[in-house]
Amino acid sequence: MKIIHFVQKIHQSLFAKKDRQNSMDLAIQRVTQKQQIQNQLILFKTDYLE
């Protein structure tokens, strides 16, 4: 019984880490998308105003 409990604990911790990693990746993606949009806006402004 203890072995099963131990395995479940390991399993949970692995999945928790994976979920945290995924949310980190999503946050990084959001930031980079935001930066790309801002860069495009800057390029558009400079092209349009010149």
Q: Would the pLDDT of 24 be above 70?
A: yes
* pTM of model > 0.85: no
Rounded to an integer, what distance in angstroms lies between the CA atom of residue 24 and that of residue 35?
A: 17
Helix, strand or coil for residue 14? helix
Q: Would the pLDDT of 1 be above 80?
A: no
Q: Which amino acid is at 25?
A: D
Closest CA to 17 of 6, 29, 28, 9: 9
Q: Would the pLDDT of 50 be above 80?
A: no
Per cent of the chain over pLDDT 90 is 16
- Going by pLDDT thresholds of 50, 70 and 90, the confidence category of residue 46 is confident
Q: Pick the residue with more confidence: 37 or 50? A: 37
